[in-house]
Amino acid sequence: MLSLVKLETITPEVEEEVDVDVLEDEEKGLVLFNDEVNTFDFVIESLVQVCGHDAIQAEQCTIIIHFKGKCTVKNGSFEKLEPMCTALLDRGLSAEIH
């Protein structure tokens, strides 16, 4: 038959303040800006191909860009957004990571 035995650990109570720098993976946003050159269809196609949007999401972003002048089309880490931003810029669109 097994019996339970309570073990007590004796530890000195020491309180110590420690400064710790934590690098947080700050979320960024990929912002696409309106221009007078590219068509709605081209912007929609670009958002689908580059950012992985479905057609409805890409169309909604394009409408917001047209009326508001810009729209955050994707959120994530800089490392995730940078290739997408470059691809949009390579297509002649105006984009930045904020």
CATH code, 49: 3.30.1390.10
Distances (CA, A) of 29 to 2, 3, 78: 60, 59, 8
Residue 29, beta-bridge partner list: 75
Residue 75 lies in a domain: yes
The pTM of the full predicted model, rounded to 2 decimals, is 0.74
Range of the domain at 93: 28-97
Q: Which pLDDT score is estimated for 1?
A: 45
Residue 19 lies in a domain: no
Residue 83 lies in a domain: yes
pLDDT in tens, the chain (98 residues): 444 555 555 555 656 665 554 445 689 999 999 999 999 999 999 999 999 999 999 999 999 999 999 999 999 999 999 999 999 999 999 999 99
